[in-house]
A and B are shown apart, each in its own frame.
Chain A
Amino acid sequence: MKIGVLAMQGAFMEHINALKKLDVEAMSIRDEKDFDMIDGLIIPGGESTAIGKLLTVFNLKEKLQNKIEQGLPVWGTCAGMIILAKKIAGLDITHIPVMDVEVVRNAYGRQLGSFAVNEEIRGIKNGPFPMVFIRAPYIKQVGGNVSILAEVNGKIVAAREKNMLVTSFHPELTGDLRMHQFFINMIKEKNQF
């Protein structure tokens, strides 16, 4: 199994290091030709405007959208969640609109609003998960086929729709590998590795 981490801008090395700890082959992805080499894709945290801009100028949005619509398992953390959303509150633009969620950018304000909590996630065993929110978004609304995996203070911060997983928070910053294992299991379910 090989998992690609989109390396336009942001914390892609952190995901690669987490995957390596789970003995999964991981590679940074910048070129179209690499899309066919991977069994799953992570879109990391960073600035969604910067990541979106680079995807646009290098014509990668449509190709990624096709791959995801054909079933490529994908996980967006923070900015990655914004990239995958079908609607971004207050904006007319979207990036790769594949997942039926409406997200709010910088929903907790500026850096002074960044925080961490321990909360339960549906499907993640062995106790609450350390969630790190950095100028994070949350999900305001979900469509009928989306299952909500976690909420913090009444706001949705993790969700799944078929082959798509999104989290407002950053498991790659914590050393807790259970979310990465959860994503690996999603890929296994699909491909029967």
Chain B
Amino acid sequence: METRYDLNKNLAQMLKGGVIMDVTNEEEAIIAEKAGACAVMALERVPSDIRRDGGVARMSDPKMIKNIQQAVSIPVMAKVRIGHFVEAQILEAIEIDYIDESEVLTPADNVYHIDKRKFKVPFVCGARNLGEALRRIGEGAAMIRTKGEAGTGDVVEAVKHMRTVTSEMKKIASMDEEELMNAAKELFAPYELVKYVHEHKKLPVVNFAAGGIATPADAALMMQLGCDGVFVGSGIFKSGNPQKRAEAIVKAVTYYNDPVMLAELSEDLGEAMSGISVQSLEENNRLADRGW
């Protein structure tokens, strides 16, 4: 019989091939839904504004999230700080569809992530490599995303994280069984999950791209690298024509293998978000290094 965790992994499967968009109010949520988003992430400030403003970034006002739940019929996600299980309890109380335990907000715990198995609602977590992904799944995450480098409009980190996970999975898949315990030790990952990857040659949950995706080409790139779908944060509503860009990214995720189509839908999108190159970021401004 299906457990609550199975049902939560199943919801992520329904989001595949889709785009999850950051929205900060009802109007943006409606634009996202009309553009074909498969879910929205409700938050008070998109990552590029959080980066600009500095200070402590926390869970959004539940009222703002509830207004967005009222405005759209697609799943609504929201972020909590790493380790802040009470913020997660609050989001569960308002029946959020997915919680993102996110490095984009200021971490509340420098050591522990949330014990996500204690919750009925599902969690998605960011990962830079296979070990990190399997640790989060071990804690109960029902979906994984690349961390990328949120709020930059620079896709380079998302690419790095996806390529790292893929190449580490290939390595595990090609190992002999007696090598797996040592691999688990080196990855700091639960043995049973390493064994799962060895047997199935994939993660036990859906894996999306996130962090720095700003164009239809970026989205298609992540899909061709093997992601199941795409989160777009600041990339849409910080661009010149959010509606058109949102629609183009949705189409690009469906037709990610069709360069003629991608050329067509990349035309005339107006200005992309201006962005910051990740290389130019000082180390203490790198969000991906939050969490372990």
User: Which of A's residues lie within 8 Å of B, judged by CB?
Assistant: 7-14, 30, 45-47, 49-50, 53-54, 57-58, 78-79, 105-106, 109-112, 114-116, 118, 130, 132, 134-135, 170, 173-174
Contacts and interface: CB of A to CB of B under 8 A. Distances in A.
Interface stretch (B47-55, B82-90, B246-254, B267-275): B246-254
A9 B33 CA distance: 14
B68 to A, nearest CB: 13
A7 B35 contact: no
B201 to A, nearest CB: 14
Contacts of A115: 7
A127 to B, nearest CB: 14
Given A30-B255, A111-B97, A134-B11, A105 B73 contact: yes
Given A7-B254, A111-B75, 5 more contacts: A12-B16, A46-B17, A54-B251, A110-B95, A134-B14
B122 interface: yes
17 contacts: A9-B253, A9-B254, A11-B16, A46-B15, A46-B38, A47-B37, A47-B75, A50-B74, A58-B251, A79-B14, A111-B95, A114-B8, A116-B7, A118-B1, A132-B6, A134-B10, A135-B75
Contacts of A110: 69, 75, 95-97
B10 A50 contact: no
Contacts of B170: none
Contact of B18 (A9, A78, A130): A9
A30 B8 CA distance: 27
Contact-residue bracket for chain B = 35 or more
A57 B250 CA distance: 11
Name the residue in B36, B96, B120, B251 with the highest tally of chain A Cβ atoms < 10 Å from its Cβ: B36
A47 B11 contact: no
A94 to B, nearest CB: 15
Nearest to A170: B10
Nearest to A110: B95
B14 A45 contact: yes
B33 A49 contact: yes
Interface in B55-92: 69, 73-75, 92
Contacts of B73: 49, 105-106
A50 B7 contact: no
Contacts of A112: 92, 95, 120-121
B194 to A, nearest CB: 23
A10 B16 contact: yes
A144 to B, nearest CB: 29
B250 A53 contact: yes
B121 A47 contact: no
B110 to A, nearest CB: 30
Contacts of B18: 9-10, 46-47, 50
A11 B13 contact: yes
B11 A57 contact: no
